């Protein structure tokens, strides 16, 4: 088997449809909130409740996540592509306009997201040029009236015909 070239490897992985999330925390030094767009996110365990997300080691914001005492994951709705693009860059944001602070943690959630997951660090593993953050879930909330934002073929996409609560009929 041939070792994949970077471009071919990326194009191959782009064939896997993923959801889009923003992981956020409070920087321990500056006490400011910061977030990063991620699509490397997965459930790990139900007992105890664990999730994982991956961040590039060389990303400017990664050290803040390494020293954080809590994280939040906001699973983005299809209407939040602009927020995904914003957090994909090293940009600041006025959280009062777009987010809310979780009472369980000091990590903010994005308003309008279809799911919110509050968590605390459990383990960090090095894997190539990324860090794998395993986090213990402390609180969850979801809204099943909006469709998710997804990523496929290196571009944003939307799913149609999902059985959303707003489209279900009472029986």
Residue pLDDT, tens place only, 22-63: 999 988 888 888 899 999 999 999 999 999 999 999 999 999
pLDDT tier for residue 121 given thresholds of 50, 70 and 90: very high
Residue 5 has pLDDT above 90, yes or no: no
Residue entry with tokens 């914003």: 86
Of all residues in the chain, the percent with pLDDT exceeding 70 is: 87
Q: Which domains does the chain have, with CATH numbers?
A: 13-161 (2.30.110.10)
DSSP 133: E
Return the pLDDT at 71. 92
Q: What CA–CA distance (Å, rounded) separates 40 from 61? A: 16
- Dihedrals phi, psi of 161, to nearest 5 degrees: 60, 35
CA distance 18 to 150: 6
């Amino acid at each position: 088997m041939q070792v994949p070239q970077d471009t071919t490897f990326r194009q191959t992985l782009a064939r896997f449809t993923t959801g889009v999330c923003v992981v956020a925390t409070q920087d321990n030094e500056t006490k400011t909130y910061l977030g990063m767009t991620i699509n490397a996110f997965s459930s790990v365990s139900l007992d105890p409740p664990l999730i994982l997300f991956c961040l590039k080691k060389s990303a400017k914001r990664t050290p803040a996540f390494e020293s954080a005492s809590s994280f939040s994951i906001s699973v983005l709705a299809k209407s939040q592509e602009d927020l995904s693009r914003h957090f994909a860059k090293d940009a600041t944001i006025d959280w009062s306009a777009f987010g809310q602070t979780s009472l369980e943690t000091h990590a903010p959630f994005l308003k309008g997201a279809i799911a919110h997951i509050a968590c605390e660090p459990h383990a960090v593993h090095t894997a190539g040029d990324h860090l794998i953050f395993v986090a213990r879930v402390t609180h969850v909330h979801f809204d099943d009236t909006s469709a998710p934002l997804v990523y496929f073929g290196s571009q944003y996409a939307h799913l149609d015909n999902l059985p959303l609560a707003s489209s279900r009929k009472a029986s």
